[in-house]
Structure 1
Amino acid sequence: MAFFAALQREPDLKGINITQIITFTRLLSLLKHDIILCQPVNISTTEPPDFLPPTIRTFISEATGIGFDTIPKCWHLLKEDIWESPQPQLSAEEENLFRENGWKMGINCNTNYHHNFSIQDGVRTYYGDTPKYIQVGEHQFVEHKLIGLWISLMLVAWVSATNCARSYDMALSEQQERDFAAGGWQFGCVLTTDHVWDAFVILTLLNYNDRKGTCLQVPHTGDQRDRFTGVMRERNREVIEEGQDEVGHCCDKCMHTLKRPDGSECTFFIQLYFLLHRGGF
C-alpha cells in the first residue's frame, strides 16, 4: 500500500501508528458529505477532492493526534480508499471523539443530509446557493423558475396562490384527474395552495440569505406552517429598523400604522413585499 511505503520514506509520517491511520480513515469515511459540501459546485462528488475543509482538518488532527500540517499529506495518500469505503458504524470511542473534538466546530456524526438541507439537533440548515429544485413538501419539489413565475403572477396580475395551483394542475400537470392520494396512496400529486405559499417563502428567504452570504436555518420540528415564522419576523424587524433593500420609502401599501388602546402607535410591514428581491428569480 502506498501509504505504508510512504511511512518509511517520509520523515513527517514516521511517527504515525496503525491506530491513527485506522481512525483517520474511519472518521473521514463518515464525513464525506461534510467534505463535499464545502467544495466548489463544479467539483465531482464521485471523486475525492484535493483538499479538506479547514474545520475538518482541525477536527481530524485533534481526534487522531496527527499533526495539522501532516493531515494534507495523509489525505493525499488515503483519499481514494476513503472515498470508496462504505460509511462505518462508529464505536463508542469514536463517537466520543466527535463529542470532545467535533461538536465545538459544528461537526456531528448525527447529521442527516437531504436534497436542499441538512438536519442536526432539530435544526434544518439549507445549503448555500439557491438550488434548481426546491423541496416544498414531504415528497414535492418545484423548479425555482416556476416558483418565480408564481411570485410574478401574484405581484403583477394579483393571482392568488390558490389560482396559481389550480392553473398549474389544469394546464400543465393534469394531475387533478388522477390524484393518487384520493385513491389511498400516501403521496398526493395535486399541487396545493400550501405548496405554492411554502415555495414562495422558501425561495425568497433563500435568495435573501444568498445576498447576505448566510445559510437559512429554521426548526425541523413542529408544523410546516410554523417553520419559517421566526426568520420572517427577523426579516420584518430588519426592514423596520434598516429599511428595504432597494428603495428607502414607506407607503400605505406595504406599511400600516395602527393605534393601540393606550393611544400609542404600532407600525408593521406586510411580509409579502419585503421578502422579495427584484431580479432574484
Structure 2
Amino acid sequence: MDTFTEIYKQLNAVPGLCDSIGMEKAMAFIRMAARLKDKITVAQPPSFQGNSPPSELPPDVASFLASAAEIAPDFIHGCWTAFSSLIWRYEGDERVSEALKQYGLDRSISGRMLFPPTHHCTEPGCINKKQLRQKHDASHVVLYTLSEGACASFAHTLTCDVCHTRYYPNYSVKDGLRTYYTTIPNTIQVGRINMSSNAFLTSSST
C-alpha cells in the first residue's frame, strides 16, 4: 500500500532516513529506479517472476542511485523497501537522462539500455518457465537517436538455461540459427563500429 502513512512507517524504521531526504530526493529515487526495472530484473534468480519487486537492489544499481539521487548509501535499502511497490508500477521520467549520463556509464548503466523484448523463453517446445539468465556482460554500443544524437549505451543478452537459446535486442540465436522477432523493435542494429561495439538506430522519434 502506497499511502504516505505506510511509506513513512517504512522510512522511519531506518534511523536518520526521514531527516536526510525530502520529496525531491524521494522522487528522484523513484524516477531513476523505475527506468532501471529491466536492469534490476535480470539480476534476479531464475525463479523470479517479476509480478512484484525484489526485496534487494543489485549492488551496481544501489550504488548508482546513491550517487545520482544524492542519498547516503546506507539509506538506499530503506528507500527501496518504502518505494519499491510504487516503482514497479511507475513508467519513469526523461528528466533523469543527465543523471544517467553523469553517474551511470561507469557502472554499465544508461538511460537507453537495450534488452531483448522478453524475459522468458519463447522457443517452441522449450519447457523452461523460469526467467532468462544474463550470462554475458553487456556490450558497449552507440545508439543513434533524433532527440539526443549519438548516445553511449549497453546491449544485454539473455540465455535460456534449458534450450540454450540466446536472446539479443533484435533477434535470438539457437544452434547457430538467427531468428528475428516478429514484433517491430524500438531499435535496430545498423552496423559494427569495431570488434567490441555495435551501432543501433532508434526506430521512433526519440
TM-score (norm 1): 0.46
Counterpart of 2:16?
12
Residue 111 of structure 1 and its aligned partner are, at CA, apart by: 1.1
Counterpart of 1:187?
none
Q: Distance in 1 between matches of 2:104 and 2:70?
A: 14
Q: How many residues align?
A: 154
Q: Distance in 1 between matches of 2:167 and 2:14?
A: 52
Alignment of 1:1-281 (within 5 A): 1=4, 2-7=6-11, 10-13=14-17, 14-85=19-90, 87-91=91-95, 94-114=96-116, 115=118, 121-122=141-142, 124-127=155-158, 130=161, 132=163, 134=165, 144=174, 147=175, 197-198=176-177, 220-222=189-191
Output one character per residue of 1:162-201: Cα deviation in whole Å (capped at 9) or x when no partner: xxxxxxxxxxxxxxxxxxxxxxxxxxxxxxxxxxx535xx
Q: Where does structure 2 lack aligned partners over 5 or more consecutive residues?
A: 120-133, 143-153, 179-188, 197-206
Percent identity for Structure 1 against Structure 2: 19
1:32/1:140 CA distance change after superposition, 3 Å: closer
1:222/1:72 CA distance change after superposition, 3 Å: same
Question: Contact conserved, 1:111 with 1:119, CA < 8 A, in 2?
Answer: no
Task: Give the CA RMSD over aligned residues.
Answer: 3.7
Which is richer in helix?
1
Output one character per residue of 1:34-89: Cα deviation in whole Å (capped at 9) or x when no partner: 0010110111211100110000000000011111111111111111111122x223
Q: Distance in 2 between matches of 1:140 and 1:36?
A: 20
Q: After TM superposition, where is structure 1 displaced by more than 3 Å over at least 4 residues in a row? A: 5-10, 115-120, 122-125, 128-142
Residue 7 of structure 1 and its aligned partner are, at CA, apart by: 4.5
| Structure with greater contact order relative to length (CA < 8 Å, sep ≥ 6) | 2
Which is richer in strand?
2
Question: Contact conserved, 1:48 with 1:80, CA < 8 A, in 2?
Answer: yes
Task: Report SS of the residue matched to 1:11.
Answer: coil
Q: Where does structure 1 lack aligned partners over 5 or more consecutive residues?
A: 148-196, 200-219, 224-229, 232-281
Residue 20 of structure 1 and its aligned partner are, at CA, apart by: 0.4
Residue 107 of structure 1 and its aligned partner are, at CA, apart by: 0.4
Question: Contact conserved, 1:113 with 1:119, CA < 8 A, in 2?
Answer: no
Task: Report SS of the residue matched to 1:57.
Answer: helix
1:137/1:73 CA distance change after superposition, 3 Å: closer
